[in-house]
Every structure is written in structure tokens, then in C-alpha cells.
């Protein structure tokens, strides 16, 4: 079955064709660990995880690489301002490494509470400085980088494709640049590959380099680490839409300048989670985290369910009313599952149901294969769950399939206690005898067994497909 994804690079939905049939390579820009990831950031990671799961559903193996930015990201993506990590260390009176460890640990606790699979490789910028220095040296040797007043810059004038992802051209960028200009740059769109102490004397984390003691610019880490772990061409590169105009343009420029060929086949970007008042952002105090949500009564699975009700390429608006709605829906979902588990656990699917299950699963899968259409997949799910003509066993098998992709914790929901029927050997024997009696049209015997079962507190309802439903009396 083909998977379709929207490729930002070509502004179109395209059939996904992997470079290598055996394993899809996927790189996702990870967190800058100077504060807690807010729930908007996590919406992006939830969808990245779902893309990987969808590809697995289609039969691919996925190698998913995520970086952790623990050095180099300044308060503006365009290299201006202070170092985010340093600012946090000053604010919290801790060392930069303590800050990085604390926020990285919390990030992975949150992603695991959201039941996201840990990426195949998680790589920290501070552990890949040599890879970055080698990369910058190579760019310098190839004539794409220049040294100016202590810093090494990428010369975007040497890369005519600059702006290809966002559709901007370099001249627009020059005229449109809002921030004060770094006078050391040759072009407004040039960006720093390596900073030295001549510019940021208070930078605590510094490394020896051919240009003096210093530290990397933010963009170089993603190119260096993705190339190290995924090779010179990769299938999919993901991130939030804010990364399109600066960070990903810069990643493309430096990577393709080094390689001399195209680097990423599919660029996939997630729209933002906003508040009613506008953008939710870490740097402007987006304070809602998985922990604060839980304190307000919304478990991580409720938030995850909420994110799945909108498409990854549509902005979503966070509000307490929306969370209340998601909480109710998620509880409802768990109730259905608990009930199915109570009633259906002792029955297997008959042949017709097995066929029907395959059809339902492929309908559900197709919504995901078509550019991850989660709202349609969710509405398919509700359609199946609420269809009383379908047996509990069928609906249970279907919802467990849904859960194998969405990971909403449904497989761990316990069977509804009050309705649980324990099938003892005695009951099993009576049910078998009743089945035989009915097959022989011996209704008197069948009624006699029904009475015996009733005496044991169990009602029997005959369903049209010769299946039965047991009811706790
Ligand atoms: P950061 O840690 O700030 O580098 O961001 C981590 C990820 O979250 C990146 O892929 C961003 O593009 C993404 N992101 C940032 N803000 C939001 C938001 N409000 N909604 C969804 N994704 C976001
Ligand atoms: Zn990146």
C-alpha cells in the first residue's frame, strides 16, 4: 500500500518512495533543552512519531534520528541575541550542563508519558562538535564559508538555490530582514557556522577549533548529525513550520553545498498549536506542559487524543473547553474498550468477522496512508465502535489495531469489573451442550440449559450470526 505525504519542498502531496526498500531514514529536529517543552512542541513530536508508526504500518522499518540542542541556539533563529542555554543557566543559577540534563530528562519523560517511541538514535550537539568542525572546514575548503571578525559564516550568495524551501529569494530576504544587521556578514541571509570568543566572551561551553576557541552555530548540528547517522541522502526531514524559512533553508544550503547534490527527499512540516490569543512559544512564555495539564486534570493521553482530532497541517487552537471535550471523548473511548473486554474476551472471531476486521483495518490505515489524515481515522474509529450490529469481539480487535498505531493506552484499559463474566469449566460445558442442543433443534434441552445458566447468574442472548452474547444478571 502506498503512503502519501505532503512535501513542503514541492508544495504538493506525493507518493512516498523510499531510497531504500528496507529502511526509511527520518530526521526530526529535536528540542532545545533550555526550558520545558510546551504542549505545542509536543504536538509536533506526536505527529512525527505517528508518521514513523504509519510507515511501519505500511511495512517499512524506520530509522528515526532526533537531535538534542544543548549548545548554540541563540534567542533568535537568525543568530542574534543571547545563547538560550546560557540565559537559562543564569536564570536558574545552575551550570549549563545541569540545565541541559534536567530539561532533556523531562522532555523524554513527557514523550514517554505520551507513549511516543524513543527515536532510534538521540544525539546531543555537545557530543558532536568534531563532526561539526569537520563539516565547517569542508565548506570553507569548498569556498562556501568565510571568516569575518571572529566568526565563520555560510555565504548564501554562493548557493543559488537558497530559499527553495520557503519560496523566498535572497533579494527579498535582504530587503525584508527585520533584525539589526550583523555587519560582519556579506549578505543578510548569511548565517553563522562557528562562533569564536571574539563575539561571545561569556560563552561557557567552548571548544578548540581551526578558527580559535568557540562554539557552533545552531543550524550546523542538524546537518552534521543527520549525515553521520543517516548518510548523504535521507528520505524524510521533519520539524515545525517555524523552521521552514530560516533553520531548514540553512540546513539545505550547508548540506547540499557540502554534498553537491540533493539531500532530503521529503520535507514534512507540522502546523502550530496556538492559543486563542495567538502563537504558543517557549521563548514568549508558553508555560503549558504535560505536567501542568495533568495538575489541571488532563492526563497525557487526553492531550494526545486532542492532537489527533486535527490534521498535522492545520493549526489547532488550545483551550480548556477543547480539553474538556477531549477528556470526555477519551473517557468514553476507554469505557467502550472496558466493556468490550468484559464481554468479548472469551470469544474468537468467526470467518466473516475476520474478513470484516481486515476491511475495517485497511479503511482505517488508508486514512493514515493518505497524508496522515487523523481526523478521518478518528471518525472511522467512532463509527465502528458505535455500531451495535458489530460484535464486541470484532470491535475489540479493531480498536486494538487502532491502538497499535495511535498508542492511546487502550490495550492497557482493564475489563469493566461489574460486567466481567468468568467462564468456569462448568459454564463452558453448559454453553457447549446448549450449542449442540440448538444445532439439533432440541429446544426443550436448550431451555433447560438456559435455566441452569441463569441460576449461575448468566443470561444468554442469541445473535443473528449464530454467535451469543453473555450477560451478567
Ligand atoms: P524548539 O525546542 O523550540 O526548537 O522546538 C521544538 C519543535 O517544536 C520544533 O520542531 C518546532 O518547530 C516545534 N514548535 C515550536 N512551537 C510550536 C507550536 N506552537 N506548535 C507546534 N510545534 C511547535
Ligand atoms: Zn534542525
Single pTM value for the model:
0.87
Give the percent of the chain with pLDDT over 90. 71
Give the percent of the chain with pLDDT over 70. 91
Q: Closest ligand 1 atom to the C-alpha of 28?
A: 10
Distance 41 CA to ligand 1 centre (A): 4
| Partners of 448 in the β-ladder | none
pLDDT at 428 over 90: no
Q: If DSSP codes are grouped into helix, strand and coil, which group holds residue 64?
A: strand
Q: What is the pLDDT of residues 434-467, one digit of tens each?
A: 989 988 999 899 999 999 998 888 888 887 667 7
Map out the domains of the chain with their CATH numbers.
18-270 (3.40.50.620), 291-412 (no CATH), 425-472 (no CATH)
Residue 199 neighbours by CB under 8 Å, 6+ apart: 149, 150, 151
Q: What is the pLDDT of residues 127-148, one digit of tens each?
A: 999 999 999 999 999 999 999 9
Residue 295 burial by Cβ neighbours in a 10 Å radius (0-12, 13-18, 19+): exposed
Worst-scoring range by mean pLDDT, 162-166, 182-186, 210-214, 358-362?
Answer: 182-186
Q: Which of 215, 178, 220 lies closest to 199 in space, CA to CA?
A: 215
Q: Is the CB of 31 under 6 A from ligand 1?
A: yes
Q: Is the CB of 148 under 6 A from ligand 1?
A: no
Q: Is the CB of 239 under 6 A from ligand 1?
A: yes
Convert 167-189 to b/e letters by CB count within 10 Å (16 or more is b): ebebeebeeeeeeeebebbebbb
pLDDT at 384 over 60: yes
Q: Is the CB of 44 under 6 A from ligand 1?
A: yes
Distance 322 CA to ligand 2 centre (A): 31
Worst-scoring range by mean pLDDT, 171-185, 230-244, 378-392, 411-425?
Answer: 171-185
Closest ligand to C-alpha of residue 73 is 1
Distance 30 CA to ligand 2 centre (A): 7
Q: Strand runs (DSSP E) across 259-326, as ranges?
A: 264-270, 273-275, 278-279, 316-318
Distance 219 CA to ligand 2 centre (A): 6
Q: Is the CB of 29 under 6 A from ligand 1?
A: yes
Distance 386 CA to ligand 2 centre (A): 43
Residue 343: its pLDDT value, please?
A: 83
CB distance 318 to 280 below 8 Å: yes
pLDDT at 89 over 80: yes
Residue identifier of the C-alpha nearest atom 9 of ligand 1? 240
Q: What is the pLDDT of residues 4-19, one digit of tens each?
A: 999 999 999 999 999 9
Q: Closest ligand 1 atom to the C-alpha of 241?
A: 12
Q: What's the mean per-residue pLDDT of the chain?
A: 91
C-alpha cell at 215: 562554539
Dihedral angle sign, alpha carbons of residues 207, 211, 217, 219: negative
pLDDT at 42 over 50: yes
pLDDT grade, residue 96 (50/70/90)? confident
Q: Which of 26, 3, 50, 25 lies closest to 378 in space, CA to CA?
A: 50
Question: Rounded to the nearest 5°, which phi and psi values hold at 214?
Answer: -175, -160
pLDDT at 62 over 90: yes
Q: How confident is the model over 400-409, as a mean pLDDT?
A: 98
Q: Closest ligand 1 atom to the C-alpha of 286?
A: 19
Q: Closest ligand 1 atom to the C-alpha of 32?
A: 2
pLDDT at 31 over 60: yes
Amino acid at each position: 500500500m502506498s503512503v502519501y505525504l505532503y512535501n513542503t519542498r514541492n508544495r504538493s502531496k506525493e507518493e512516498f518512495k523510499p531510497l531504500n526498500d528496507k529502511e526509511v531514514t527520518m530526521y526530526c529536529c529535536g528540542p532545545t533543552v533550555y526550558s520545558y517543552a510546551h504542549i505545542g512542541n509536543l504536538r509536533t513530536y506526536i505527529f512525527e512519531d505517528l508518521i514513523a508508526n504509519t510507515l511501519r504500518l505500511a511495512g517499512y522499518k524506520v530509522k528515526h534520528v532526533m537531535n538534542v540542542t544543548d549548545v548554540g541556539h541563540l534567542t533568535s533563529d537568525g543568530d542574534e541575541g543571547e545563547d538560550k542555554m546560557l540565559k537559562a543557566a543564569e536564570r536558574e543559577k545552575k551550570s549549563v550542563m545541569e540545565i541541559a540534563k534536567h530539561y532533556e530528562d523531562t522532555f523524554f519523560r513527557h514523550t514517554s508519558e505520551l507513549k511516543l517511541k524513543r527515536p532510534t538514535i538521540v544525539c546531543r550537539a555537545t557530543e558532536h562538535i568534531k563532526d561539526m568542525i569537520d563539516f565547517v572546514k569542508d565548506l570553507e575548503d569548498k569556498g562556501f564559508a568565510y571568516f569575518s571578525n571572529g566568526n565563520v559564516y555560510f555565504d548564501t550568495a554562493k548557493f543559488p538555490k537558497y530559499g527553495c524551501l520557503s519560496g523566498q529569494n535572497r533579494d527579498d530576504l535582504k530587503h525584508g530582514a527585520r533584525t539589526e544587521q550583523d555587519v560582519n556578514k556579506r549578505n543578510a541571509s548569511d548565517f553563522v557556522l562557528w562562533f569564536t570568543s571574539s563575539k561571545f566572551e561569556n560563552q561557557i561551553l567552548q571548544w578548540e577549533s581551526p578558527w580559535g576557541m568557540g562554539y557552533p552555530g545552531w543550524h550546523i548540528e542538524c546537518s552534521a548529525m543527520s549525515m553521520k547517522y543517516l548518510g548523504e541522502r535521507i528520505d524524510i526531514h521533519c520539524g515545525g513550520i517555524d523552521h521552514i524559512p530560516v533553520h531548514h533553508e540553512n540546513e539545505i544550503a550547508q548540506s547540499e553545498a557540502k554534498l553537491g547534490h540533493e539531500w532530503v527527499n521529503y520535507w514534512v512540516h507540522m502546523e502550530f498549536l496556538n492559543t486563542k490569543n495567538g502563537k504558543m512559544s517557549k521563548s514568549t512564555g508558553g508555560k503549558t506542559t504535560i505536567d501542568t495539564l495533568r495538575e489541571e486534570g488532563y492526563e497525557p493521553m487526553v492531550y494526545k487524543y486532542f492532537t489527533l482530532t486535527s490534521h498535522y497541517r492545520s493549526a489547532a487552537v488550545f483551550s480548556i473547553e477543547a480539553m474538556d471535550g477531549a477528556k470526555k471523548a477519551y473517557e468514553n473511548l476507554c469505557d467502550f474498550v472496558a466493556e468490550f473486554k468484559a464481554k468479548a474476551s472469551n470469544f474468537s472471531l468467526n470467518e466473516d468477522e475476520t474478513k470484516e476486521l481486515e476491511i475495517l483495518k485497511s479503511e482505517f490505515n488508508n486514512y493514515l496512508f493518505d497524508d496522515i489524515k487523523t481526523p478521518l481515522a478518528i471518525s472511522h474509529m467512532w463509527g465502528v465502535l458505535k455500531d451495535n450490529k458489530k460484535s464486541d469481539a470484532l470491535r475489540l480487535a479493531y480498536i486494538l489495531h487502532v491502538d497499535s498505531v495511535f498508542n492511546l493506552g487502550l490495550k492497557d484499559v482493564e475489563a469493566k469489573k461489574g460486567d466481567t463474566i468468568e467462564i468456569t469449566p462448568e459454564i463452558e460445558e453448559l454453553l457447549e451442550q446448549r450449542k449442540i442442543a440448538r444445532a439439533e433443534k432440541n429446544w426443550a434441552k436448550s431451555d433447560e440449559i438456559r435455566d441452569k445458566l441463569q441460576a449461575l447468574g448468566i443470561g444468554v442472548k442469541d445473535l443473528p450470526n449464530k454467535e451469543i452474547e453473555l450477560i451478567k444478571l
